[in-house]
Amino acid sequence: MHLSRTLAAAIRSYVAIHYPHGVADCAQAAREALLGVAQDIETVCQGHERVSLSRRLRTLLKLAVNEYCDLQAESVEIEQARAALLAALQGEVVNDALFATLT
């Protein structure tokens, strides 16, 4: 659950910075898609181990993870979290306990 909350927080942070309310129509679709993914991650992960992610959005999701981690205080833990989040986006199984202190 901590992984899903951290990933959703990273996505929402990215959207708030790069796709704020009132964004141009051409970017509105990306905004809504990313917010939809964040919601799916939170709700689906409550009952399932995996969320299906669009390949089209994975680049934006990786950018969101990297930016979120860059905004955190630099530490070994945040770099481990970054690696784990990026691995999770690739479909790898990740230890959820690593994220307990991040969100």
Poorest-confidence range of 15-24, 56-65, 91-100? 91-100
User: Alpha carbon of 82 to those of 15, 76, 85, 91, 102: distances in Å?
Assistant: 18, 10, 5, 14, 11
Distance between CA atoms of 47 and 53, rounded to whole angstroms? 16
Q: How far apart are CA 64 and CA 84, in angstroms?
A: 14
End-to-end CA distance of the chain: 11
94, 39 Cβ separation under 8 angstroms: no
Over the stretch 31-84, which tens digit does the pLDDT of each residue have? 999 999 999 888 876 666 677 788 889 999 999 999 999 998 888 888 888 999
Q: What are the domain boundaries of the chain?
A: 2-99
DSSP state of 53: -
| Single pTM value for the model | 0.85
- Give the pLDDT of residue 13: 96
Amino acid at 95: N
